Structure 1
Amino acid sequence: MNGSAHSTPTVLDINLKRGPAGLGFNIVGGADQQYIMNDSGIYVAKIKENGAAALDGRLQEGDRILAINGQKLENLSHGAAVELFRSAGEDVQLSVQQRSTLLQNGPASSRSDGESSPALGTWTLLTVFTLAVVAAAGFIAYKRFHPHPRGRF
């Protein structure tokens, strides 16, 4: 054992038959709407209950979709990827890289296909920055109205 916590990602070929509600999942990502910083991949955001993907059971939230019917999704915009899904036909073959079991930070969005979603990393950094500013302002206000007691000698 070399001490590495990384595992080789599993790639699956999943065949889905489009149902009345489509393929049954939503996506995020793309070259123009990166879900993960510096990664233009297309990711599964939400599996719809009783949809084709849920009934199959192999596709999971957070999985990266590598190709649709043999067409790679590398460097595609979000809109172009959505259009590929919409025009893929009734029987759709997906090449999917499963989310690592060590990285359980799946998509935090349930937006439908075609809707944009901010990157989780961007949202998290913004939240941390905002909390730091609020904490600093609170500390300054506290110190202003509660000065350090002066010792008597």
Structure 2
Amino acid sequence: MNGSLKASPNVVDVKLKRGPAGLGFNIVGGVDQHYVVNDNGIYVSKIKEEGVAALDGRLQEGDKILAINGVSLENQTHKHAVELFKNAGEDVQLHVLKKLPDQKEGPRASSSLSHMGIAVTVVGAAALVAFLCVRHLRKYF
């Protein structure tokens, strides 16, 4: 394993045996298509119903896959990560950072928070301008 993959209580190893339909999950992310803002990691985007990963139960949508068969997925393109999964063989060892229960997924979560921040700022600025205008007009009436 790469020395940059630090041990954590949220990091687990998951061993899966490839089934007829593969490993039973989809991935997103990579240096060329960030799934999480400022993070080029590879994430589980979908667990396929009745697939190997769903039947195993340990892998969940939103988990970050740190390594496959001892090969780090850090700083990999999405295409290269897909190739690593395709060529991983029948027995696949995943080093996984589990998604925290309150952790939001993907860029949608981050962008919706930033949109909310912008909206609050605009509404606050409008309220301040209205207050100052009313205060200024009171001098004349």
**TM-score (normalised: structure 1):** 0.66
DSSP-derived class of the 2:50 partner: coil
Please state which structure has a larger fraction of its residues in helix: 2
User: How far apart, in 2, do the equivalents of 1:21 and 1:34 lie?
Assistant: 26
Match of 2:108 among 108, 120, 130: 120
* Equivalenced residues, count: 115
Query: Equivalent pairs: percent with the same residue?
Result: 62
Q: Give the letter aligned to residue 108 of structure 2.
A: L
Structure 2, unaligned runs of 5 or more:
1-7, 124-140
Q: Structure 1's 9 and 100: CA in aligned 2 closer, same or farther, altered over 3 A?
A: farther
* Deviations 1:27-48, CA, capped at 9 Å, x for gaps: 1110110111110100000100
* C-alpha RMSD over aligned residues: 2.4
DSSP-derived class of the 1:81 partner: helix
**TM-score (normalised: structure 2):** 0.71
The answer (yes or no) to whether the contact 1:9–1:100 under 8 Å persists in 2 is: no
CA shift, 1:124, in A, is: 3.1
Instruction: Give 1:38's aligned residue.
Output: 38
Q: Give the letter aligned to residue 60 of structure 1.
A: Q
The answer (yes or no) to whether the contact 2:36–2:105 under 8 Å persists in 1 is: no
Query: Which 4+ stretches in 1 moved above 2 angstroms?
Result: 119-126
